[in-house]
Amino acid sequence: MMEYHELDDEDRDLIRAASDAIERNYSYPRHTVGAAVLCSSGAVYVGVNVECCGYGPCAEPIAIGRAITEGEREIERIVAVGGPSEPHNVLSPCGNCRQLVYDYAPDCWVILPQASRIVKIRARDLLPGAYGDSD
When the beta carbons of 28 and 55 are compared against Zn ion, the nearer one is 55
Question: Which residue of the set 6, 23, 51, 60 is catalytic?
Answer: 60
User: Could you give the C-alpha distances from 29 to 87, 104, 106, in angstroms and in order?
Assistant: 18, 28, 31
When the beta carbons of 56 and 84 are compared against Zn ion, the nearer one is 56
Based on the shown chain and the rule CB under 5 A, indicate whether residue 48 belongs to the binding site for Zn ion. Answer: no
CB 75 within 8 A of CB 106: no
Report the C-alpha gap between 125 and 72 in whole angstroms. Answer: 23
- Residues 87-106 binding Zn ion (CB under 5 A) are 94, 97
Q: State the nearest-atom distance from the C-beta of 9 to Zn ion, in Å.
A: 26
Based on the shown chain and the rule CB under 5 A, indicate whether residue 58 belongs to the binding site for Zn ion. Answer: yes
Report the C-alpha gap between 25 and 114 in whole angstroms. Answer: 27
> Is residue 6 flagged as an active site residue?
no
Residues designated catalytic = 60
